[in-house]
Amino acid sequence: MLPLKILISLCGYVSTIQACSLHDIAPVPSSDLARRSLLPGKKLPTVIKNVRIFDGWRMTDPQDVSFHGEIISPGSIRPEEPEVTVDGTGKFLIPGLIDSHLHISKVSDLELLASYGVTTGVHMSCQSYEACHTFRNQTDLTSIIFAGTAFTGAGNSSSNLPQTGVPFPDLDEATIIANVFNNGSDVFKVAINDDGPTQDVLNGLIHEVHKRGRQAMTHATTREAFAWAVAAKTDGLQHMAADGPLSRCIIDRMLKDRQFVTPTMNIFKQAFANPLILNFLRPNGAGNITYEAVVSNVRLLHEAGVPLLAGTDAVGVVTSTISVPFGSTLHWELQNLGVAGLSPLECLRAATIVPALHHRLEDRGAIEYGKRADLVLLNSNPLDDIVNTMDISRVWIAGFEFQEIGGKSE
């Protein structure tokens, strides 16, 4: 690997700014667990009439969609029930969008995500289990699943078991994994950096995760880290190799083991465009890495058929000069994927049905009977131009209509 950590998650430097070792997490301020807006979501029987539907696979001819409660209903709502009727003529209904890699720190972050039609987020390193459970229980805001606190090499300040303060190697792999899932985590995350973990430790951790029938996500930003993660049979690789082209051997192994990648092109693009971010992430220099290598590797994986998921590494406002906002960045990521060769159809699938399948979220990602009523009504066809995902008319989350659209309240 390169001698320095490459583009580690911005979550890591948030902790640096706070001068707070992740082994000793400070209590979460109550203000971070409070809603910014007092506007409640409205949950009413609803029919959207004469709307074209992207059902997760294709755009249909105009038809009606109804839901009462959080589930999309078969047929029409009973006439005796109160009903909201939405005229969908000339509009386009898509499943709620899924950001497969972000870092939530406040409930108000969920409100921003919802305002941009992001109805599910994968929080990729829980720093406070109390806070993460609070985030997950906001029924009318963006739905969150979360990874336990990321395991890294023994010398890294953001490693291992912050809830107990006992670092590896004092505990074995089974105890570490038990700690993560017994605290309610949905997935396990491990980060490969210059200080480890070793291939053997990585293999043992991921094997222990799979023994439980759960999934492992692995942070990897170099070709060597990708090779280690692939060899360990991780489920999902987070980020992208930025130091040169991935080998055909690695790509073939990924296909064989049905691994997927969330490339987070957004954070690489922002880092290479903003020296403040790049210097924060790589204080001793950028080394032999380029954004062009990121784009090229995404293109290689796409052409080979490796599943790609849209994720942003969003953290919100970090300083007065550094911000990776929630919501809007997912739309930017879809555009980034388009630059790497994905069609608008494939880009949209990367934020709907594909992450739903790979994150085992069987109740969402598509518009069909029995799925969650996570819906985004657009004024323009996203299959004509993926930028049209930002042309939002209305948003529903599990049947609740979110009232503030497009970040207008920011």
pLDDT value of position 29: 56
pLDDT value of position 18: 27
Beta bridge partners of 43: 400
In a domain? residue 166 = yes
In a domain? residue 121 = yes
The CATH number that applies at residue 154 is 3.20.20.140
pLDDT value of position 16: 29
Q: 31: pLDDT confidence band, cut at 50, 70 and 90?
A: low
Please state the pTM of the whole predicted model: 0.88
In a domain? residue 45 = no
In a domain? residue 388 = no
For residues 7 and 376, what is the distance between their CA atoms, to the nearest angstrom? 32
pLDDT value of position 158: 44
In a domain? residue 275 = yes
Looking at this protein, which amino acid is placed at residue 297?
N
pLDDT of 364 higher than 60? yes
Beta carbons of 221 and 240 less than 8 angstroms apart: yes
pLDDT value of position 80: 53
pLDDT of 34 higher than 90? no
Overall average pLDDT of the 268-297 stretch: 76
Per-residue pLDDT of 155-195, as tens digits, reads 444 444 444 333 444 568 888 898 899 999 999 999 988 77
When divided into structural domains, the chain yields a total of: 1
Per-residue pLDDT of 297-351, as tens digits, reads 999 999 999 999 999 999 988 877 788 999 999 999 999 999 999 999 999 999 9
Per-residue pLDDT of 346-363, as tens digits, reads 999 999 999 999 999 999
pLDDT value of position 69: 84
- Residue 279: helix, strand or coil by DSSP? helix
Alpha carbon distances (Å) from 144 to 124, 163, 330: 10, 20, 15
Mean of all residue pLDDT scores within the chain: 83
For residues 299 and 342, what is the distance between their CA atoms, to the nearest angstrom? 8
Domain encompassing residue 15: 10-19+96-364
Residues 6+ apart with CB under 8 A from 394: 86, 376, 377, 401, 405
In a domain? residue 79 = no
In a domain? residue 77 = no
Q: What would the two tokens of residue 87 be? A: 């005229």
pLDDT value of position 168: 46
For residues 339 and 67, what is the distance between their CA atoms, to the nearest angstrom? 36
Helices 223-231 and 199-211: crossing angle in degrees, nearest 10, is 40
In a domain? residue 387 = no
Which one is predicted more confidently, 9 or 355? 355
Cα-Cα-Cα-Cα torsion 250, 151, 221, 11, nearest 10 degrees, comes to 150
Per-residue pLDDT of 57-94, as tens digits, reads 899 999 999 998 899 987 655 555 658 899 999 999 99
